[in-house]
Structure 1
Amino acid sequence: MKKIGWLIYNREDAKKNKAYIEWMLAEAKELNMELRFHYREDLQIGHRQHKLFVDFRNEPVAPPAYAIIRTIDPFFTKQLEMLGTVCFNSSFVSEIANNKAKTHQFLSTLGIPMADTVYCQDSVQAHFPFPFIAKEVHGRGGKSVYLIENADQLTSLPSGGEWLIQKPGVFGKDVRVFVVGKKIVAAVLRESNSNFKANYTLGGTASLYKLSDEETALIQTIIDAFDFGMVGIDFIFDEKCRFLFNEIEDVVGSRTLSALSDINIVREYLQFIQSHFA
């Protein structure tokens, strides 16, 4: 009997990722997987009669064997896990990866090279000489990241929230490493001549990047600390062109990788999920 799985997006993200959703569902069908698409808004969780539940449109439904969760909701993910669902990515990965402060705090215990960082609550202070980088801890896709070059820019930042203040690395250049399970699938160099952020979706350029043995070993140390489904691990460079860890992208896209290669990372991801039930 086939294992039933759910592919979960919120409605807003599903509109922007329609082609990716169709790709994933088509690949699942080719692999003879029973993968069903659901909007997060249609799923309710709670407890009744002292037992946890998940409902679909306010009607009881059996939790799936596995769920591919493409929205940021670690509490929801944890509920599914407690009901016996294997989640990709897990609630632990979702909780850590979607909070930059938690990510840096966790990985600092492993000796991972990172830019010097101060964690801030509610307001950003000039803990380093100008220029420095200010990041809202829940920002994604290069958003809520600011280059602060003077005191006026500092006072113009949004108030409240949680922030990272970091010494800058090399501007306009980073590497995204695509990981499925314990496997490094590929790495992409992203560069920008017009912005200190190198994100492809923000107008940067991209090319495949060959990892050195030293870089591969560093990445493997991070991989070994998690049970990843599929993620992107991002690195910036220091002044000697060495990797500095930047962030982990939980709900990672693969637009750049698809544009640069014929690697079918969606198929690799689904085959990895299948291997859990072999």
Structure 2
Amino acid sequence: MRAIKKYGWLVYRKEDINRNQRFIKLLLHAAEKREIKLSLVHLEELTWKISGNESPFTRGGEQSPDFLINRSVSPWLNELAEFSGIRSFNTSFAARLANDKRLTHAFLQKKGIRMADTAAVSPEALSPDNHPDFPFVIKDPYGRGGAGVYFIHNECDLLHCLSQINYSELLVQPLSGNPGKDLRVYIVGNEIQGAVLRETTSSSELRANLSTGGTSRSYVLNEAEKKQIHAIASSIKLDFAGIDFLFDKDGTLLFNEMEDAVGCRSLYMNSSVDIADVFLEYVQKVVS
């Protein structure tokens, strides 16, 4: 007897679809190859009926999905899916941690993971008379893709930053020992799939993201680095995510952040790994 085809939703915000078209096509193709019905769903077009007895996960009379791939950076949606008995990728626990840098650092610090000294503060807690030693970094705890990162070298930078930011919660950290360079490690099903070293090409830009003009190349992890990465992944149980590291002065890794809806352009540029195909193979095993 032929197995029943599984049905899933691939959820994106409208504003993110155009710049992710190539990866969306790769995910849809990988699903089709495995006879998984995967529908691209715009987050903003949905109404979630969360009262009553019917499932909130319906669209135009369609059946509820068997699973949800949430790339919309909205962890509450992962939680709502799990309340309804629907498997979400990532799990709600992983999505909630990954999308709030404060929670990620607090959780992994208790697991003994090395990281820069990190504090969560409000903008009102920072002033010319009250701040960490220069230089330091201010981050939006919900920022992604290098957005919401400010490098504070002096009092003038601090005052300018505080006058520009429009959010009420901040993360502050010292500069790493090797600013302008970071490492992204791609995880599927708790297993390392590849690693990319990213470096800035500008003396005035310390973010190494491709979107800010950085370069990237493949990186071979040593055994100590693999052990550190596995400790992070296994403590959270990651379906599909990117883990970003900074480098300390001695070249060892310092945890920086996680991305739940991780961008994969640099991995495709620097390796033969088809991460979309690897991920859908993992999804198929989980939902079968």
TM-score, length basis structure 2: 0.91
CA distance in 1, matches of 2:251, 2:245: 11
Query: Which residue type is aligned with residue 54 of structure 1?
Result: F
Corresponding residue number in structure 2 for 1:165: 172
The question of whether the paired residues in 1 share the 8 Å contact of 2:67 and 2:287 is answered with no
Where do residues 194-273 of structure 1 align in structure 2 (5 Å cutoff)?
A: 194=202, 195-273=205-283
Superposed displacement of residue 187, structure 1 = 0.5
Equivalences for residues 33-182 of structure 1 within 5 A: 33-49=36-52, 53-56=56-59, 59=60, 61-123=62-124, 125=126, 126-157=130-161, 158-169=165-176, 170-182=178-190
Which range is displaced more, 109-118 or 71-80?
71-80
Deviations 1:25-77 (A, max 9, x none): 11211122111111112222133335652342xx5543211111111111122
Structure number with the bigger relative contact order (C-alpha 8 A, sep ≥ 6) is 2
Query: 1:193 matched to which residue of 2?
Result: 201
Runs of 4+ in 1 over 3 A off after TM superposition: 59-62
Counterpart contact for 2:199–2:216, Cα < 8 Å:
yes
Secondary structure at the aligned position of 1:53 is classed as coil
Residue type of the partner of 1:69? Answer: N
Over 3 Å counting, the alpha-carbon distance change for 1:154 and 1:35 in structure 2 is same
Structure in which a larger fraction of residues adopt strand = 1
Give the secondary structure class of the aligned counterpart of 2:124: coil
CA distance 1:55–1:274, shift in 2 (3 Å): closer
Q: Give the Cα separation in 1 of the matches to 2:67 and 2:53.
A: 23
Structure 2 residues without counterparts, runs of 5 or longer: none
Deviations 1:58-106 (A, max 9, x none): x554321111111111112211111111011122112111111111011
Pairwise CA RMSD: 1.5
- Contact 2:198–2:208 (CA<8 Å) still a contact in 1? yes
Residues 103-146 of structure 1: per-residue CA shift (max 9 Å, x gap): 10111101111101121024352532111111110111111111
**What SS class does the counterpart of residue 251 from structure 2 fall into?**
coil
SS at match of 2:217: strand
Select between 47-56 and 265-274 the one with higher mean Cα deviation.
Answer: 47-56
Contact 2:57-2:65 at 8 Å conserved across structures: no
